């Protein structure tokens, strides 16, 4: 018996004109940080009939970490439209984390590592 798929991994993004216009107006450094956060992440959305999701993320610049939210609209099971972007408060970002609606960064720092001589795991 095979279990139904619970989440889908987003592989392709389409970008709406509205999203692109907002990204252009926020400044190059922040726009690059947001783009980098989205592009190097593994975004998973529940595999259900809901077509729109708001997911939080952090844009890391040289000077600060900026919380933001992205509105995704599912076009196909593995293709989504980046529809809107907004800056949010850190409290709103933490609420999205509690709901498991945040961008998970899968760079070299997010994998588990064991330190020498110590059995504690760091995430």
Query: Tens digit of pLDDT for each residue in 78-104?
Result: 678 899 999 999 999 999 999 988 887
Q: How many CB atoms lie within 10 A of CB 52?
A: 13
- Asked if residue 99 belongs to a domain, the reply is yes
- Asked if residue 119 belongs to a domain, the reply is no
Q: What is the pLDDT of residue 80?
A: 83
User: Which of the four pLDDT bands, split at 50, 70 and 90, describes residue 50?
Assistant: confident
**C-alpha to C-alpha distance for 17 and 29, rounded to whole angstroms:** 20
Q: How many CB atoms lie within 10 A of CB 110?
A: 11
- Asked if residue 117 belongs to a domain, the reply is no
CATH number of the domain that residue 31 is part of: 3.30.2310
Bridge partners (DSSP) of residue 23 are none
Q: Which residue has the higher pLDDT, 72 or 79?
A: 72
- Asked if residue 54 belongs to a domain, the reply is yes
- Asked if residue 1 belongs to a domain, the reply is no
- Asked if residue 13 belongs to a domain, the reply is yes
- Write out pLDDT tens, residues 12-38: 678 899 998 998 899 899 999 998 888
**C-alpha to C-alpha distance for 98 and 101, rounded to whole angstroms:** 8
Range of the domain at 70: 7-104
Q: Residue 70's closest CA among 81, 91, 84?
A: 84
Q: How many domains does the chain have?
A: 1
Q: Residue 37's closest CA among 85, 105, 90?
A: 105
- Asked if residue 111 belongs to a domain, the reply is no
DSSP-derived 3-state class of residue 120? coil
- Asked if residue 86 belongs to a domain, the reply is yes
């Amino acid at each position: 018996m095979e279990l139904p798929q619970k989440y889908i991994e987003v592989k392709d993004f389409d970008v709406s004109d509205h999203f692109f216009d907002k990204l252009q107006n926020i400044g190059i450094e922040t726009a690059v940080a947001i783009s980098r956060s989205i592009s190097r992440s593994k975004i998973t959305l529940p595999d259900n009939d809901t077509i729109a999701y708001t997911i939080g993320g952090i844009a890391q610049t040289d000077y600060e970490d900026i919380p933001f939210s992205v509105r995704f609209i599912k076009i196909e099971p593995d293709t989504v439209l980046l529809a809107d972007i907004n800056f949010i408060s850190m409290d709103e970002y933490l609420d999205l984390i509690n709901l498991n609606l945040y961008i998970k960064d899968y760079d070299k720092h997010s994998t588990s590592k064991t330190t020498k001589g110590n059995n504690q795991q760091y995430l």
